[in-house]
Chain A
Amino acid sequence: MIDLSTEYLGLKLDNPLVPSSSPLTGELDSAKKLEDAGASALVLPSLFEETIEHEQKQLDRFVYSQALGHSEAQSYQPIPEDYSSELDNNLERIQKFKSALDIPVIASLNGISTNGWIDSGKKLQQAGADALELNAYYIAADPDTTGEEVENRYLQLLSDLQKHVTIPVTMKLSPQFSSLANMVLKLQQAGAHGVSLFNRFYQPDIDLETLHIKPHIELSSSMESLVRIRWIALIRGRVDLSIAATGGLHRTEDIVKALLVGADITHLCSVLLKNGPEYIAILKQELHDWLEQREYTSVTQMKGSVSKSCAINPAALEHSNYMDVIKSYGQ
């Protein structure tokens, strides 16, 4: 019997297959299906700072617009006595999932400002989250903002939050750091229990009819896994924290590669949206088969076995390899 178990953020997991934030992890029905199919933990849909801000603005406008009437219509909408906010929904979901599922539930916070996060983080912990994934992103659009300032924002956010929550915190990062490895090290020093590499964002697109800028996102493809694999390979062994590979892991081979370079877990999203939650069982079986066929006894055994420190040709990870790539393309 092959031992697929792994450890992530101090949590003992049955296997390294962890569905990441997606509509599938938002509904109890599909979450149960994921668990039944073999998911070892799951990350809840992100609580977006932007959503909360938008919600508050809407509330503000709603309350205010009640006063914009005239003598016949002093308001236009009934004012509800109570209503549930996005945060309420998230907390309720955690409680519901925790009582219905056996696997760990990781909450996800998405945003960048420290304001309000501490409060939300505390509440997510109280509601029963096993860990927090901080999907921090900051578009440094201002030319006066230095890279160091951006990095400090992340570190500050993390250490502020660490003071108020006791559950493990992992940072989901973008690849856009001048020195990513150094950034991960700094995060570890600031108390992060793990990093998740890398997040994917909506990209602004242009509507050619109206010339308006609109957000756009597409499901990932396998190709995108390679940048994750490279960076995990580079940092595994140089830092001491949990590493999750996320983005573009579609095939069993992608998952195997991520584990070989040192990921503790592999996050799955697009592949499950395409094939349904049950597909996780197939991936799990294929992972098992791959290990079995090559006579590995456990995931722990293979984890990091092709990271930079253990790779046969580690230099290849650091080269830009431009010429090789072009050549292989020509063949």
Chain B
Amino acid sequence: METPRTLTIDGNQAAAEIAHLTNEVIAIYPITPASPMGEWADEWSSRKRANLWGTVPRIIEMQSEGGAAGTIHGALQTGALTTTFTASQGLLLMIPNMFKIAGELSPTVFHVAARSIAAQALSIFGDHSDVMAARTTGFAFLASNCPQEVMDMALIAQAATLESRIPIVHFFDGFRTSHEVAKIHSIETDVVRKIINNENITAHRQRALSPEHPVIRGTSQNPDVYFQARETVNSYYQAMPGIVQKVMDQFAALTGRNYRVFDYIGADDAEKVIVLMGSGAETAEETVDFLNTQGEKAGLIKVRLFRPFDAEALINALPSTTQSIAVLDRTKEPGADGEPLYKDVVTALAQQSIANQSSAKQNRFRQLPTIIGGRYGLSSKEFTPAMVKSVLDELGKAQPKNHFTVGILDDVTHSSLDWDENFRTDVHNNTFQAVFYGLGSDGTVSANKNSIKIIGESTDKYAQGYFVYDSKKSGAVTVSHLRFGDKSIHSSYLIGNGDADFVACHQPVFLERYPMLDKAANNAVFLLNTPLSPENVWQRLPKNMQQQVIDKHIRVYCIDAYNIAAISGMDKRINTIMQTCFFSISGVLPGDVAINAIKDAVEKTYGRKGKRLVELNFKAIDETLANLHEVIIPQISDATFDLTEPVPDNAPDFVRNVTGAIIAGRGDQIPVSLFPADGTYPVGTAAYEKRNIALEIPVLDENLCTQCGKCPLVCPHGVIRCKVFDESLLSSAPQAFKSMAVKGKDFAQGLSMSYQVAPEDCTGCGLCADICPIHDKTNASHKALNMVPYTPGLRQQEKENWAYFLNLPEYDRTAVKTGTIKGAMILQPLFEFSGACEGCGETPYIKLASQLFGDRMVVANATGCSSIYGGNLPTTPWTKNSEGRGPAWSNSLFEDNAEFGLGMRLAIDKQREYAGELLQQLQPDIGDGLVELILGADESTETGIQQQRSRIQALRDKLKHMDSPAARELVSVAENLARKSVWIIGGDGWAYDIGYGGLDHVLASGMDVNILVLDTEVYSNTGGQTSKATPRGAVAKFSAGGKASPKKDLALLAMDYEHVYVARVAYGAKDTQTIRAFHEAEAYPGPALIIAYSPCIAHGIDLKDNHLHQQLAVDSGHWPLFRYNPQQAASGKNPLHLDSKQPSIPYREFIETEIRFNMLWRTHPQEAEKLLKQSQQDVLHRYLHYEKLASLEWDKTGDIEPSHRKPTKATTPSKEQPS
């Protein structure tokens, strides 16, 4: 047996290595947490990495997982070795084809990073809900529990599917396994060659559909035969477990790693046995092993092959001494009397018992064991040794709880088991454990991944890394959990309180937010990045932290990493500096060895082409070593302050008890009873979360300001606001509050205006100052708005100003000219303080819609960035005004958002119609005047809307005194008599790809909905994968070699309907056109589509230059601006109006500024030039095409039907089956 090399990789890469090596066609689609598997495959193929047979696998990205599954089905039917990667909703979309693929006995492996299914909420984290939803498809299901097993089982699955012809879902826990970095043993290609039987491949190819030997497959069958034909596959399923076991044995002979379809671990004479699958089995193994040394008689079955379920193998794997069994499912089937694995185990034992009774055969067990089932670990909920112990303890009780939960506090139906937080196994006595608190933007995670690689690759130590992120995109807090040890590490849970030998705080501001030293073990080392000198550090530690330092004998070190970064020329990059500190003081490696290893890693990263960067990093490393100081610890704690509360005391109960607890990182402790049962949460909660992440904030020079309103327009986070108010209110203003007499004839005398910043919510992106057009005439660098360092003094001053500003009344909406920027920006945004990336290109559009229409908006939001910054707990930026009105928001799925919004429109329209009918019915009682006014209301203006609301209020007042059934009915639907604005919001991945079918149907329907497509030209949320909106020549994930095809012209497709309002906008290039388009779209009585250019971090740009990139996109012709208004056609005018001029700069000038394009010049220069040439032609051609369309003479006769037509019969779905 060979000694294979080791790899330090995560589970996704482990799966992708084998999948890419053993397949010919790979159909992919991005979904967290499975996307990296597709990314690896795409990158490798773009680098021409060959598979086992010397040919480069063909990778194809599809428009959805449904499309990927169809492609796989086709490729399998024509004889290719084919695979895919997916998770969660993606797997659900594959189910229809999975039935077919299995029904036709087509060998394939789907690698699944198992993830929760969206139910009361979406979750990207790991459990088996998706896999269990697919268990009836006829696929086999093979589980891996750790990155090593992912690689091993990927191969075993590939060999077994070819041998058995049964397709396999190979799954492992999303994030816990897919994203856990671990040192594992590689599988050499020679082993792969030995295990994959080429004869099976030949047989697969021979079964392929071919005109050389034609057959038909996929027939339709009738009652006479379908049933029998369905039973034909039984023998294949019966043979499958044996085949899998045979391959496992073969694998063991070649690698020394043994697996059984049901692996038993534990005491030979175990009385209590736990049965489970996935990463939890690793924790269970660690616990059972430990408890058995303490006198427990416990065992564990790791279920590897879940389907086909081999009952006999399970029973044979159980010790005959088994008295009780706890089956743990990482899924929930509401309404079932037990989850799937539990029921299979019960059935297996019951069937055997019954069979033995009838055959009088000896039972394996003295008596049928007690079997209980429970749920654990949903959505990556922690599953610790303490929880395993609590399950075993439960088994020891006379009447153990069935259908239990473990890991949560269920104080409603009392399903949960208690566990002892302090219980630990002994495996950590020889493991070094380290926890790091950092920001997503400070490089902590990448530095830690680098450290794991250094230790994994340069020593014999085993390593494990797991990374926890919060849900924000800007200023995301990351906690890294690293373990190093001499033995293989199986602890698939986070480092617990009191366990960390090393704790690092990479951001000074965390000191007041997180009780980081709770994690520290006795004699731990604490590393703090702080601008404070070593003598001043102690007095700035919160009281509780000081006490922990003293009690646990923690050694404290400090470094001013940002200063060292600055003096070493590293800008604000502290990753290498903090990594150097870790190696220098943690003792995990000898000092010199570690420092040399870091330097080697730097050289590897930047290579010979980044010589200067290598020098900079080396300088930073040396400076770090010279400036790392130990803090002298006094005997007593003398601090007078402690951690700050996550939300203010005056926040509503729910916000304090639930939202606040989640913000503070105590979400695990919230009991079931505090949660809404139907997933409904309050709005306006982002305002409570003060993140203080800005390094600079904008400060107004009111003497220069011309009140143009551009700064609030472009602010991605809604932190810079405008109010117009009576100047008499200024008497109570704080001294530093800035205001101006409002300018312009649209406003009465005696009014003041203020632009005020919410300092604690600002991210410091600087876009407001960037857009500010006013310069000091004597100093061009000084503007009306300037970014200023965010000092404690400024924070305090602006906090007071903001508090005063918030209390100023909102200006009367009916008095504002909302068509101007200045006017529109006086309107209150009902979308504020989102956690989107600093400088996000999407959020200004959403905020604008919320200002213009928020008080009557219903939002259907596709899954993506906007659903994450819009609705990921703990907080939401969607909020309401002082009247309690605001956007009502929901996210259905990724693929169905247009339909979801259409459903909202239908309900509102239907209820409005019904309310109208009731009004007419009740007219005698209500009175003619009011009914007629309500039914004939003109709601096209703010005034009209306000008047209608007053009428409806008058109606409600009248209805209060009426007691007929119709009156009561009318009360419940009366609100729909006022206009509601339905907004369907999503990204390009949704609109161009996965949701396009639905979007197209909604456009065709003619219904009055407003569709806002935030076009970032990639799947931003999942990490920048190619969509059909991605431009030609751009490098993106899944297009590592540059996208060869042009961007789809969604606007042109929509215009072709002729009854759809279409606008293409880029607020950074022409803000007035954007506002006009929003107004026109909302006013248009049919479907309206706004496609909004949204610069994104995935473009490889600095978002502080967001506006410049928008301007270049427009000037180069990449993003022509226009509006297509079908109402113009009705009056004989051409509906298309171009709002930007012919391309005025070469396309090259646009793409040179963005890494997504210019990276291709570095990797594939000739291809880049070719694509650039084509793109240049594309934009010129397209502009000319639009120009011609816009200049067409429009029919002015008026006696033919105008082109704005309502849906005809042809668009009404037929009741017939499609023919």
Contacts and interface: CB of A to CB of B under 8 A. Distances in A.
Interface of A: 53, 56, 58-85, 87-89, 115-116, 119, 211
Given A68-B443, A72-B1022, 7 more contacts: A67-B447, A71-B467, A76-B1037, A77-B1024, A78-B1040, A84-B1162, A115-B612
A75 B1023 contact: yes
Contacts of A66: 446
B577 to A, nearest CB: 13
Given A65-B1097, A71-B469, A77-B1100, A89 B445 contact: no
A274 B36 CA distance: 51
Interface in B1143-1164: 1155-1156, 1158-1159, 1162-1163
B1162 A77 contact: no
B1021 A72 contact: yes
Interface residues of B, number: 56
Q: Which has the most chain B C-beta neighbours within 10 Å: A56, A60, A66, A74?
A: A74
Nearest to A75: B1023
Contact of A76 (B32, B468, B868, B1100): B1100
Nearest to A59: B610
Chain A contact surface mostly: loop
A73 B1040 contact: no
23 contacts: A60-B613, A63-B605, A63-B606, A64-B443, A64-B573, A67-B575, A68-B441, A68-B443, A70-B469, A70-B472, A71-B467, A71-B476, A76-B1037, A76-B1097, A77-B1024, A77-B1155, A77-B1156, A80-B1159, A81-B43, A81-B47, A84-B1165, A89-B1165, A119-B611
A78 B1162 contact: no
A85 B609 contact: yes
A76 B1023 contact: yes
Contacts of B717: none
Given A56-B612, A62-B1100, A77 B1021 contact: no
Nearest to A62: B1155
A72 B613 contact: no
Q: Which of B42, B775, B1165 lies at the interface centre, i.e. has the most chain A CB atoms within 10 A of its CB?
A: B1165
Interface in B988-1024: 1020-1024
A66 B36 CA distance: 13
B473 interface: yes
A70 B440 contact: yes
Contacts of B1035: 77-78
Contact of B1023 (A56, A72, A85): A72
A110 to B, nearest CB: 17
B175 interface: yes
B1162 A83 contact: yes
A73 B606 contact: no
Given A59-B610, A60-B610, A75-B1023, A69 B440 contact: yes
Interface string B452-483: 00000000000000011101110010000000
Contacts of B42: 78
A53 B124 CA distance: 40
B440 A62 contact: no
Contact of B1163 (A56, A74, A83): A83
Given A69-B1023, A78-B1035, A59 B609 contact: yes
A312 to B, nearest CB: 50
The listed residue with most B CB atoms (<10 A of its CB), out of A53, A60, A61, is A60
Nearest to B572: A64
B559 interface: no
B613 A56 contact: yes
Contacts of A88: 609
Contact of B473 (A70, A77, A211): A70
B573 A71 contact: no
Interface of B: 32-33, 36, 39, 42-43, 46-47, 124, 175, 179, 440-441, 443, 445-447, 467-469, 471-473, 476, 573, 575, 605-606, 609-613, 775, 780, 868, 1020-1024, 1035-1037, 1040, 1097-1098, 1100, 1102, 1155-1156, 1158-1159, 1162-1163, 1165
A74 B1023 contact: yes
A208 to B, nearest CB: 11
B124 A71 contact: yes
Contacts of B1102: 61
Contact of A211 (B775, B1020, B1100): B775
Contacts of A87: 609
B124 A83 contact: no
B1100 A68 contact: no
B124 A77 contact: no
B574 to A, nearest CB: 11
Contacts of A116: 611-612
A72 B476 CA distance: 12
A182 B1213 CA distance: 89
A72 B32 contact: yes
Contacts of B610: 56, 59-60
Nearest to B780: A211
A65 to B, nearest CB: 7
Given A67-B443, A77-B1035, A85-B1162, A53 B612 contact: yes
A84 B124 CA distance: 37
A211 B772 CA distance: 13
A59 B614 CA distance: 12
Given A68-B441, A70-B476, A78 B43 contact: yes
A70 B444 CA distance: 12
B124 A80 contact: no
Nearest to B443: A67
B509 to A, nearest CB: 18
A79 B1023 CA distance: 13
Contacts of B1097: 65, 68, 76
A163 B965 CA distance: 102
Contacts of B1155: 58, 61-62, 77
A68 B440 contact: yes
Contacts of B1163: 80, 82-84
Given A60-B610, A211-B780, A72 B43 contact: no
Contacts of A84: 1162-1163, 1165
A80 B609 contact: no
A58 B1035 CA distance: 15
A80 B1022 contact: no
A76 B32 CA distance: 13
Given A59-B609, A116-B612, A76 B473 contact: no
Contacts of B612: 53, 56, 115-116
A59 B1100 contact: no
A80 B1040 contact: yes
A78 B39 contact: yes
Contacts of B1158: 58
A125 B39 CA distance: 40
B445 A67 contact: yes
B1212 to A, nearest CB: 39
Given A64-B573, A77-B1035, A83 B1159 contact: yes
B647 to A, nearest CB: 22
A77 B1098 contact: yes
A23 B1155 CA distance: 23
Nearest to A64: B573
Contacts of B1024: 73, 75-77
A243 B353 CA distance: 104
A91 to B, nearest CB: 12
Nearest to A73: B1023
A67 B36 CA distance: 14
B204 to A, nearest CB: 31
Contacts of B1021: 72-73
A327 B177 CA distance: 88
A105 B1036 CA distance: 38
Contacts of A72: 32-33, 124, 868, 1021-1023
Contacts of B1022: 72-73
B1159 to A, nearest CB: 7
Contacts of B36: 74
Which of B445, B467, B471, B612: most chain A Cβ within 10 A? B612
Contacts of A63: 605-606
